Amino acid sequence: MSLFSAILDKLGFGHKDAAPSVPTAVPEPAPDIATASAPAAVAVTEVDVVAKLEGLAAENPQTLNWKVSIVDLLKLLNLDSSLAARKELATELGCPGAMLADSAQMNIWLHKTVLQKLAANGGNVPKELL
């Protein structure tokens, strides 16, 4: 399992019991005219990333600033936050090679990219965190 898949799993992506979540209605594609019927709405569950992480932070004895730190985000999810693990995640997510040599730049890129990927996978992430 990739590290990003582990992040998705820890946050409840792809699970029916993914809580907290926000149901949203997504319209189905327009039907073919030959088989026309009234379009229906399909319920999609969106993972509330902030609520989930805030809940984990409240239960954690450490003060972790997951909103700005990829290390703290990984620690909060009880995942490996070592430099080697972060480089592996950065490589997995397509980090530019030049940034891999500078851990500070890589960490900033990685934090932003993880939150963007969470949003792209159905996570409810506020714009100010993206």
Report which residue type is found at 54: E
Task: Tally the domains of the chain.
Answer: 1
Contact status, residue 41 vs residue 26, Cβ threshold 8 Å: yes
Radius of gyration of the chain (CA): 18
For residue 11, name the pLDDT band (cuts at 50, 70, 90): very high
Confirm whether 31 is domain-assigned. no
Confirm whether 116 is domain-assigned. yes
Confirm whether 30 is domain-assigned. no
Confirm whether 59 is domain-assigned. yes
pLDDT in tens, 113-127: 999 999 999 999 999
Contact status, residue 39 vs residue 27, Cβ threshold 8 Å: yes
Q: Give the C-alpha separation, 24 to 1, whole Å.
A: 29
Confirm whether 58 is domain-assigned. yes
For residue 30, name the pLDDT band (cuts at 50, 70, 90): low
Q: Give the C-alpha separation, 84 to 23, whole Å.
A: 37
Note the pLDDT of residue 130: 85
Q: Give the C-alpha separation, 106 to 87, whole Å.
A: 8
The two structure tokens encoding residue 38: 């009234």
Confirm whether 23 is domain-assigned. no
Residue 60 has pLDDT above 70, yes or no: yes
Structural domain boundaries enclosing 113:
3-16+48-129
Note the pLDDT of residue 38: 47
Confirm whether 27 is domain-assigned. no
pLDDT in tens, 61-113: 999 999 999 999 999 999 999 999 999 999 999 999 999 999 999 999 999 99
